[in-house]
Copies of this chain bind each other. A is one copy, B any other.
């Protein structure tokens, strides 16, 4: 078909932002992601859980001193899915030569 389907897990503003961010850093804390994306904590929590249970990111809940600290990282599958998503999107954004 003309237009390939877009991975619904990535075709979401916030989830795409999260993955995009992680692609660029390989490790980020929850509050940092929250700040960079402008998301509310609740929404971010939900979307991170979705990305995590899809295997696109890993989530490590530990402590930094005495405070909880949630560390997120992209997985190889997440990286692959992102690349595929970008490729697919191009079919929508770039008109193929007549």
Contacts and interface: CB of A to CB of B under 8 A. Distances in A.
A2 B36 contact: yes
Copies of this chain, whole number: 2
Interface stretch (A11-19, A40-48, A49-57, A65-73): A11-19
Interface string A23-37: 110000000000011
Contacts of A13: 3, 5-6, 11
A1 to B, nearest CB: 5
Given A2-B38, A5-B13, A20-B93, 12 more contacts: A1-B36, A2-B36, A3-B17, A3-B37, A6-B13, A11-B11, A11-B13, A16-B92, A17-B92, A20-B92, A20-B95, A89-B89
